[in-house]
Amino acid sequence: MCSTLLLAQVEKADTVQMEEVDSAFLAEVDSVIVAYERWEQMRKIEETIGAYNDVRLRKEMSFKTDGALHLARGLLLSWTDHGFVKQEARFEPKGDRVNWTDYVVGGMPLLVNWGLKAAGVESRSKLERMLTANAMALGLSFGTTELLKHTIREGRPDLSDLHAFPSGHTCFAFVSATVLSREYGHLSPWVTVGSYAAATGTEFLRVGHNKHWMNDLYMGAGIGVMTTNLAYFFTDKIFGVDAINKPELRRKDVLRLMKFNERPSGFSFVTGTEVGDRTIRMDDVRIKTGAAISAGADVVWFITPKVAVELLTRVVDAQAKVYDSPTVFTGGHLNLYHFDLGGKLSLPHMLGQRVAVRAFAGARLMDGDSFTDGRRTLVVDDAANFEFGLGLTYECIDTSNYAWGFTCDYYHTFSRYMKNRYSVSSSWKILF
């Protein structure tokens, strides 16, 4: 009886001990499995990040075609505005002193670029790549513009010479802007937006100083961007990947993508072309404008992931001439200013892309001008009128801190002058 009870107690103790060993062993195995799964997840994440960085590096070394839109606009306006350019008129000469002012504005991004490099701020390129690409870009752009200027021989608005097409100042400004954006655009979206704002400012100065027509500006901008991208492409063929400070995925890149797909509130710099009704009839003559350059800012605030309110502003410079007169009148500028508030419905198209429609209303102010042939003066009065409009937008998040896109807008203004206008623009957006 006692022996049987003792044996039972021993067997029970062995069972308890075995259960304790099995539980400890199983817990250890379970922790190993969890650690392995976590390691596998981290490895896959690292592989994904590495693959993404490789894609960005290949993109950095590829030939970018983002200047093609400028070239297309320039060629299109060279055809559609050919008659306007050839119409005889005398625009006020500003003299050659303005050339250096325009160069300074256009060259500011390039000065900032080399200032940052001299200060030791790491750029996308190592020194040999930046030196070679910048020198090649300036050489290619200058050679191309000079060849076209002396081949096409288009007259300037101020009749100072026959070297209007394409704009060398605008070409230089967009070389400067593209260099700064490529080298330091990854630091802040304001780098890219600021550089292209300076380049657009050069375009406005060249028009306002009566040195160029609209097609000259867009061809100059396109040549500037394309030759710079071509210079970097050739430089990478020479030096290879070792001359590049490789791009790396950062936490803020992921957060920015998530924000863009959720609620992409932000500030956009917008520049483009405004066309549409261009004729003002005055007695026996017509005052007609060419295609106009426009620039401005949009501020959008998303109330929900799809619905937003938006503030839109634009400044427009339209060159104007007098038609149907036996005498030659002076040329002038009609400046338009749009101030509108609207609503926007924005839908994600795919990861990192959005399409939207918008409706807006506000005011259009017009700064008129006078035209004279020495005996007769025609005056287009200043005006302020109510307007409304509709638009379409496309946006895509970029790897360099900002979102870029296109806008197409229609404006109807309750005015006796140029009631229906259309604008096609490029945009660079900074997310809030």
The pair of three-digit structure tokens given for residue 212, joined into one six-digit string:
């160029």
In this structure, are 232 and 332 located in the same domain? no
SS3 of 42-67: HHHHHHHHHHHHHHHHHHHHCCCCCC
Q: Mean pLDDT over residues 83-88, rounded? A: 95
For residue 206, give the CATH number of its domain.
1.20.144
- Give me the pLDDT at residue 38, please: 76
Q: Where a domain ends, among 248, 281, 303?
A: 248
In this structure, are 163 and 28 located in the same domain? no
For residue 346, give the CATH number of its domain.
2.40.160.20
The model's pLDDT over 305-337, given as tens digits with 9 standing for 90+, comes to 999 999 999 999 999 999 999 999 999 999 999
Buried b (16+ CB within 10 A) or exposed e, 266-279: bbbbbbbbbbbbbe
Q: Mean pLDDT over residues 289-311, rounded? A: 96
The pair of three-digit structure tokens given for residue 287, joined into one six-digit string:
């005052």
Using CA atoms of 65, 66, 69, 70 in order, give the dihedral in degrees to the nearest 10: -110
In this structure, are 376 and 285 located in the same domain? yes
C-beta separation of 292 from 336 below 8 A: yes
pLDDT-derived band at 60 (thresholds 50, 70, 90) equals: confident
- Give me the pLDDT at residue 248, please: 80
- Give me the pLDDT at residue 9, please: 52
Alpha carbon distances (Å) from 224 to 103, 163, 220, 382: 14, 17, 6, 36
How far apart (Å, rounded) are the C-alpha atoms in residues 266 and 310? 10
The angle at the Cα of 342, spanning 336 to 345, to the nearest 5 degrees, equals 130
Range of the domain at 25: 1-61
In this structure, are 30 and 82 located in the same domain? no
The model's pLDDT over 159-218, given as tens digits with 9 standing for 90+, comes to 999 999 999 999 999 999 999 999 999 888 899 999 999 999 999 999 999 999 999 999
Identify the residue whose tokens are 């896109």.
Answer: 405
In this structure, are 390 and 416 located in the same domain? yes
Buried b (16+ CB within 10 A) or exposed e, 110-146: bebbbebbeeeeebbbeeebbebbbebbbebbbebbe
Q: Burial of 3 by CB count in 10 Å (0-12 exposed, 13-18 middle, 19+ buried)?
A: exposed
- Give me the pLDDT at residue 10, please: 46
Q: Mean pLDDT over residues 219-223, rounded? A: 97
* Residue 54 scores a pLDDT above 80: no
SS3 of the chain: CHHHHHHHHHHHHHHHHHHHHHHHHHHHHHHHHHHHHHHHHHHHHHHHHHHHHHHHHHHHHCCCCCCHHHHHHHHHHHHHCHHHHHCCCECCCCCCHHHHHHHHHHHHHHHHHHHHHHCCCCCCECHHHHHHHHHHHHHHHHHHHHHHHHHHCCCCCCCCCCCCCCCHHHHHHHHHHHHHHHHHCCCCHHHHHHHHHHHHHHHHHHHHCCCCCHHHHHHHHHHHHHHHHHHHHHHHHHHCHHHECCCCCCHHHHHHHHHHHHCCCEEEEEEEEEEECCEEEECCEEEEECCEEEEEEEEEEECCCCEEEEEEEEEEEEEEEEECCCCCCECEEEEEEEEEEEEEEEEEEECCEEEEEEEEEEEEEEECEEEECCCCEEEECCEEEEEEEEEEEEEEECCCCCEEEEEEEEEEECCCCCCEEEEEEEEEEEEC
Mean pLDDT of the chain: 90
Q: Mean pLDDT over residues 25-46, rounded? A: 74
Q: Mean pLDDT over residues 341-365, rounded? A: 94
- Give me the pLDDT at residue 103, please: 94
Number of domains in the chain: 3
- Give me the pLDDT at residue 4, please: 55
In this structure, are 240 and 93 located in the same domain? yes
pTM of the predicted model as reported, rounded to 2 decimal places: 0.88
In this structure, are 76 and 199 located in the same domain? yes
How far apart (Å, rounded) are the C-alpha atoms in residues 193 and 377? 42
Q: Where a domain ends, among 231, 248, 265?
A: 248
In this structure, are 37 and 168 located in the same domain? no
pLDDT-derived band at 96 (thresholds 50, 70, 90) equals: confident
Q: Bigger pLDDT: 355 or 256? A: 355
* Residue 340 scores a pLDDT above 90: yes
The least confident of 10-14, 41-45, 122-126, 367-371 is: 10-14
- Give me the pLDDT at residue 20, please: 53
In this structure, are 314 and 413 located in the same domain? yes
- Give me the pLDDT at residue 401, please: 67
pLDDT-derived band at 80 (thresholds 50, 70, 90) equals: very high
In this structure, are 260 and 377 located in the same domain? yes
* Residue 345 scores a pLDDT above 90: yes
- Give me the pLDDT at residue 411, please: 98
User: Amino acid identity of 314?
Assistant: R
C-beta separation of 391 from 424 below 8 A: no
Calculate what percentage of the chain has a pLDDT beyond 90. Answer: 73
Q: Mean pLDDT over residues 230-242, rounded? A: 96
Of 6, 92, 64, the residue nearest 333 (C-alpha): 92
How far apart (Å, rounded) are the C-alpha atoms in residues 185 and 191? 5
pLDDT-derived band at 283 (thresholds 50, 70, 90) equals: confident
- Give me the pLDDT at residue 403, please: 84
In this structure, are 339 and 239 located in the same domain? no
In this structure, are 22 and 126 located in the same domain? no
The model's pLDDT over 106-160, given as tens digits with 9 standing for 90+, comes to 999 999 999 999 999 999 999 999 999 999 999 999 999 999 999 999 999 999 9
